[in-house]
Amino acid sequence: MKRKVLAPLNDENADPIVITGLNNSFGSNVVHENLDLTVKRGEILGIVGGSGSGKTVLLRSILGLQKPTSGDIHIFGHRLYEGDETTTRQIQAKTGVLFQSGALFSTLTVAENIMAPMMEFTRLSRREARAVALLKMSMAGLPLTAADLAPSELSGGMIKRTALARALALDAQLLFLDEPTAGLDPIGAAAFDNLIRELAGSLDLTVFMITHDLDSLYAICDEIAVLADRHVVEKGPVSQLEKSTHPWIHEYFHGPRGRVKD
pLDDT tens across 91-132, in order? Answer: 888 899 998 888 999 999 999 999 999 998 889 999 999 999
Please state the domain extents for the chain. 102-172
Give the chain's end-to-end CA distance (angstroms, integer).
65
pLDDT confidence bin for 159, thresholds 50/70/90: very high
Q: Is the pLDDT of residue 13 over 80?
A: no
- Do 134 and 146 form a contact (C-beta atoms < 8 A)? no
For a pLDDT cut of 70, what percent of the chain falls above it? Answer: 93
Taking the complete model, does pTM exceed 0.85, yes or no?
yes
Kindly report, residue by residue over 31-81, the tens digit of the pLDDT.
999 999 999 999 999 999 998 899 999 999 999 888 999 999 999 988 888
Decide if pLDDT at 8 tops 60.
no
Query: Smallest Cα–Cα separation from 107: which of 137, 150, 141, 70?
Result: 150
Position 262 scores a pLDDT of: 55
Q: Which pLDDT value is given to residue 137?
A: 96
- The closest alpha carbon to 184, from 163, 204, 169, belongs to 163
